[in-house]
Structure 1
Amino acid sequence: MAILKDKKVVIIGDRDGIPGDAIAACVETAGGDVVFSSTECFV
C-alpha cells in the first residue's frame, strides 16, 4: 500500500533532528514524489 502514491512532497529536515535525506527515503518508499528536499539548521 502506497500512502503517498502520486503525491508531490516538499521536505525540510532539521540538522539536529531528522535530516531531509532520511525523510526523502521514507517518502519515496511510501510512493511519494520528492520535488524538494533540504536539511536546515534552526537556531
Structure 2
Amino acid sequence: MQQKYFVKYLSLGPVLLFVNLSLTAVLLILFNYWFPDLLFHPLP
C-alpha cells in the first residue's frame, strides 16, 4: 500500500511545476498587457 502513495506523490511534482510555470506566465502576460513596456526598463 505504501508504494501506491509514493508513486502518486512522485507524479504530483511535474503537475505542480506545470501549474506554477503556467501561472507565472499568465501573470507576466497580464502585467505586460496592463502596463506595456514596463518589464524591461531602459536605464535612465
TM-score above 0.5: no
Name the TM-score, length of structure 2 as normaliser. 0.31
Larger radius of gyration between Structure 1 and Structure 2: 2
Bigger strand fraction: 1
Bigger helix fraction: 2
Name the TM-score, length of structure 1 as normaliser. 0.31
Q: Which has the higher contact order (CA 8 A, sep 6+)?
A: 1
